[in-house]
Structure 1
Amino acid sequence: MNGDLLVRNIAQIKGDKFLSNSFIFFVGSLLANLGNYLFHFLMARMLTVEGYGELQSLLALSIIAGIPAAALLTVIVKYAASFEAKKQLNKVYSLLSLFTKRILLITIIFFVLFIFSSKYIADFLNLISVIPVLILGLSFLIIFLQSINSGILQGLQKFKDLSIISVISTLFKILLAVLLVKLGFALNGAIGAVVLAGIIGYFITFLPLKFLFKKEKEEIETKEIFRYSFPVFFTLLFMALLYNTDIILVKHFFSPALGGQYGALTVLGHIIFFIGGPMVSVMFPMASAAHSNNGNPAKILKKSGILVGLIGLGVLFFYFLFPGLVIKILIGSKFLSISNFLGWFGISMFFYSLISLFSQYFLATRQIGFVYLIGIGALLQAILISLFHNNLWQVVWIMNTVMLITLVLLIIYYFKTQKSYEPVNL
């Protein structure tokens, strides 16, 4: 009986495109995220607490500085998915070719500007040396180009290929980081491994895309694409600020030791977002395709919301009941001082996961009014942490309050704008 039930469940997953894509991308992302946490697990032990705090602040900075690349990826996913839904693969190839040529020059300019700013960045983050910042700057030579290829793969719903590439890149990051840190390069080695793994991952993305190079180019409307880029850019800017501003401000206002402890706390808290992230990534191209074909993307949002919610609540359950055990296993006993914060900080990341879900849905369905709501949340977060930072508890409660307010505003916006779509019971 149980065997028959299992077979029926597997058949049901295979028959539902969203569930099958989510399962594939979830497994791949889970493996990649386990690898990423192995990277942090090892770096937390191989670097000093202060060094690990510096690594976290640099990685947070890279996410904020990489917002234009993330915006580019989202735009590419949107239009690749729309073209694929209409069987216009020639336009997909044109999209890949056009943006690769135009972005190459921009990446060089961006890199030069980052180099000139490196001394100021190092001073703000209280870094002893500017070298880690310079190494991080090298990643911007590749991150934009990688966003184009990854965006095409995601838009074409090649989630299996994306998952494999992500796992391979993560493995290289771990191996290179361990090797370079053991050779004595410390923080420089850890950051260098991140950059080298990104370069390797970029070149691998060409393998599943080689079939496109056999296509003929077809003219695409670039003005519409660039108009769409603006709300995408500001959405990702505000989302990145919501996700990373606390890390940077804590590193600035608190001691190196407390900065390292908070960096470790965010690594664990972000697990909630990372595990639910694949569902959001799968939802975006599928909701976009449904919207392009006059379908009902809200049905896809409903399935995504259920999965993201269940996953987040499951992780929170362990964080509140077994914080010490989680910390010992994932980042080491020297960070046990953050055990009281873990569950409460996790709540803010649970809210953030749902904020991410709604924001990606709105972008997929070409709604832009919500951008201001996320901007308000990001601004409020920065102001409150800058004013109230006597201890880490204040930061954690500010995070929870701001995330909850932002989520409630997005839910209200959803029900106000949902009137133009087929009603869906959430």
Structure 2
Amino acid sequence: MKDSHSSQAFWVVIASLSSVSIAIVSAAILSRYFGKEEYGTYKQIIYVYNTLLVIFTAGLPKVFGYYLPRFNLSQGKSVVKKINRFLFLTGFLFSASLYFAAPVISRLLKNPELTEGLQLFSLVPVMLVPTLGIEGIFAAYRKTRFIALYNTLSRLLMLICIVVPVIFFNGGIMAAVYGWVCASFITLTLALFFKQIPFKNITPEKADISSKEIFAYSFPIALASLWGILIKAADQFYISRYFGAGTFAEFSNGFIELPLVGMVTSATSVVLMPVFSKIVHEEGNKKEMIRVWKSALYKSAILIYPFVIFFLFFANEIMILLYSEAYKGSGIYFQVNMFLNIFNIILFAPLLFAMGKTRFYARMHMWLALVIWVAGYFVIQWFNSPVAIAILSVALAIFKINIFLYFIAKFLGIKVRDLVPVRSIMRILAHTTLCILSVYFALSFFSWNSIIMKVLAHGILYGMLLLLSSSLFRLNYIQFAKPLLQKFSK
């Protein structure tokens, strides 16, 4: 009997947990060893890479999850091989473009220190782009435990290669970038090995899929991703250009989603994409697709919201614990982004992609990208505040989610309230908010000499109150922890 969707998602969560944990550890270490300006420059290099990555991958990593469920293993091997060739080509083009565009990018961001770092970093894309798509391959064949293993190994390797030269050899930005290059080469070898695991001892058969079909599906996704990255890049560009590397360092450390949100939503998306694709391709069972989607949404809310509400109240303390007192200013950005975490559990992309609505998805992102770049310019002129830019970014992201919800409901011929379990979600939010307020006021009379003790005391009492009072709100948080505990006990 095949593993359940929850079981498959569990391993993707573990994969995300390892990625997020190692990323946080890396940021915490580098924040302490680099000065603010130096750390800001390093984060700008990563920002440029992540921005251009979406453009050059052309939506190809998404193709694995869409097409592989429609072919047998022998044909799947042929599909993977074909897409890998395209990934190698786009990786090479990415590296060449990054090298020659480095001086122009440095001038745009008003940071001359970027040129040398970007040109050295240009060796990375040609090695990392071909590693993409592993999640789609293993999710399609319901072997997501390999995603957890690969992510843990590759991210740990990246952490060691980047951090060791900085800590033990007093290296600066260039030492960290050299670490990226070294880790990328080893990761490429590891990824090529992992991509062959599902097809071990399988003789490939030619799959009835053309390059034209692949790009007909991936190109609209690439366009949407391009617009999406432009939406995401707008706040980073304006803050970097108008407020300097120091403010950008504070912003980039703080304006992040709660790691658990990314872990749960990415796991849900990876697992549901091939499921939805198969339902649409073979059965067209709209009711089953909506049932699975609503179930995933409710489970995500009951897992994520207790943490979102807690971190909303203790944003400043969390930033200090992670990055030191110098990054206390990151707390306001973290707090602003917590409001987005309430909404971005709603995953519209897997549903739209499975329904083949990639062109619509791309057009909507195009209009939203135009809005945020124009609006961002006026916000800078009127408010001259990096926090105002962050608020604009969150407001538009929430607007985007609601727009997509409305159109998905329209495509399916149902009402929005039939897509989202609104009452259940409001019940979770009411319960968690009442619990954190009760704890906050109950402990407000104490004087705390240690930030970590303050956070721990509030967290423990909050967790206890949450569990003890859950039955009053007809909620059961423990039932969603049982599958995790059972997995770990095996």
Normalised by the shorter chain, which TM-score bucket?
Answer: 0.7 to 0.9
List per-residue Cα deviations over 1:88-128 (Å, max 9, x = no partner). Answer: 11211111222333443443233222211111112222142
Structure 1 counterpart of 2:336: 344
Choose the corresponding residue for 1:229, options 210, 218, 223.
218
Q: What is the Cα deviation at residue 166 of structure 1? A: 0.5
d(CA) in 1 for partners of 2:12, 2:223 = 26
Structure 1 counterpart of 2:305: 313
Choose the corresponding residue for 2:348, options 347, 358, 361.
358
Structure 1 counterpart of 2:179: 193
In 1, are the aligned partners of 2:57 and 2:90 still within 8 Å (CA)? no
d(CA) in 2 for partners of 1:323, 1:161 = 34
Choose the corresponding residue for 2:245, options 215, 232, 256.
256
Give the alignment's TM-score, normalised by structure 2.
0.76
List per-residue Cα deviations over 1:117-140 (Å, max 9, x = no partner). Answer: 111112222142422101221121
Paired residue type of 1:232: I
Paired residue type of 2:15: G
Q: What is the Cα deviation at residue 350 of structure 1? A: 4.3
d(CA) in 2 for partners of 1:271, 1:61 = 25
SS of 2:339 mapped into structure 1 = helix
Q: Relative to structure 2, which stretch is displaced further, 402-411 or 240-249?
A: 240-249
Choose the corresponding residue for 1:142, options 127, 131, 142.
127
Are positions 1:112 and 2:92 aligned together? no
- The 3 A distance-change label for structure 1 pair 135 and 285 is farther
In 2, are the aligned partners of 1:107 and 1:140 still within 8 Å (CA)? yes
In 1, are the aligned partners of 2:138 and 2:198 still within 8 Å (CA)? no
5+ unaligned residues in a row in structure 2: which ranges? Answer: 421-490
RMSD: 2.6
Are positions 1:273 and 2:262 aligned together? yes
Q: What is the Cα deviation at residue 19 of structure 1? A: 0.7
Q: What is the Cα deviation at residue 81 of structure 1? A: 2.6
Q: What is the Cα deviation at residue 418 of structure 1? A: 1.2
1:152-191 equivalence runs, <5 A: 152-182=137-167, 183-191=169-177
Structure 1 counterpart of 2:325: 333
SS of 2:205 mapped into structure 1 = coil
5+ unaligned residues in a row in structure 1: which ranges? Answer: 1-13
- The 3 A distance-change label for structure 1 pair 218 and 266 is same
- The 3 A distance-change label for structure 1 pair 270 and 61 is farther
Structure 1 counterpart of 2:57: 69
Q: What is the Cα deviation at residue 351 of structure 1? A: 3.6
SS of 2:171 mapped into structure 1 = helix
- The 3 A distance-change label for structure 1 pair 318 and 166 is same
- The 3 A distance-change label for structure 1 pair 211 and 22 is closer
- The 3 A distance-change label for structure 1 pair 385 and 191 is farther
SS of 1:138 mapped into structure 2 = coil
List per-residue Cα deviations over 1:365-416 (Å, max 9, x = no partner). Answer: 2113232222222221222222212012211221122112111110110110
SS of 1:293 mapped into structure 2 = helix
d(CA) in 1 for partners of 2:198, 2:7 = 24
Q: Relative to structure 2, which stretch is displaced further, 195-204 or 159-168?
A: 195-204
1:39-50 equivalence runs, <5 A: 39-50=26-37
In 1, are the aligned partners of 2:45 and 2:114 still within 8 Å (CA)? no
SS of 2:204 mapped into structure 1 = coil
Structure 1 counterpart of 2:294: 302
Paired residue type of 1:174: L
Q: What is the Cα deviation at residue 425 of structure 1? A: 5.2
Choose the corresponding residue for 1:97, options 81, 85, 90.
81
Give the alignment's TM-score, normalised by structure 1.
0.87
d(CA) in 2 for partners of 1:206, 1:396 = 39
Paired residue type of 1:75: V
d(CA) in 2 for partners of 1:252, 1:403 = 22
Structure 1 counterpart of 2:19: 32
Q: What is the Cα deviation at residue 207 of structure 1? A: 3.6
d(CA) in 2 for partners of 1:408, 1:420 = 15
List per-residue Cα deviations over 1:318-374 (Å, max 9, x = no partner). Answer: 2222122211222222111232342222223544453xx202321122113232222
d(CA) in 2 for partners of 1:231, 1:253 = 33
d(CA) in 2 for partners of 1:239, 1:254 = 23
Structure 2 counterpart of 1:5: none
- The 3 A distance-change label for structure 1 pair 277 and 98 is closer
- The 3 A distance-change label for structure 1 pair 219 and 21 is closer
- The 3 A distance-change label for structure 1 pair 39 and 351 is same
- The 3 A distance-change label for structure 1 pair 379 and 189 is farther
d(CA) in 2 for partners of 1:244, 1:314 = 29
Q: When the two structures are aligned, how many residues end up with a matched partner?
A: 406
Structure 1 counterpart of 2:315: 323
Paired residue type of 2:400: T
- The 3 A distance-change label for structure 1 pair 189 and 267 is farther
1:234-245 equivalence runs, <5 A: 234-245=223-234
Q: What is the Cα deviation at residue 228 of structure 1? A: 0.7
In 1, are the aligned partners of 2:257 and 2:341 still within 8 Å (CA)? no
d(CA) in 1 for partners of 2:182, 2:376 = 34
Choose the corresponding residue for 1:79, options 64, 67, 73.
67
Q: Relative to structure 2, which stretch is displaced further, 205-214 or 330-339?
A: 205-214
Give me the identity figure in percent.
15
Are positions 1:293 and 2:282 aligned together? yes
List per-residue Cα deviations over 1:180-237 (Å, max 9, x = no partner). Answer: 2232431223233334333323322344424526322223221322211121112222
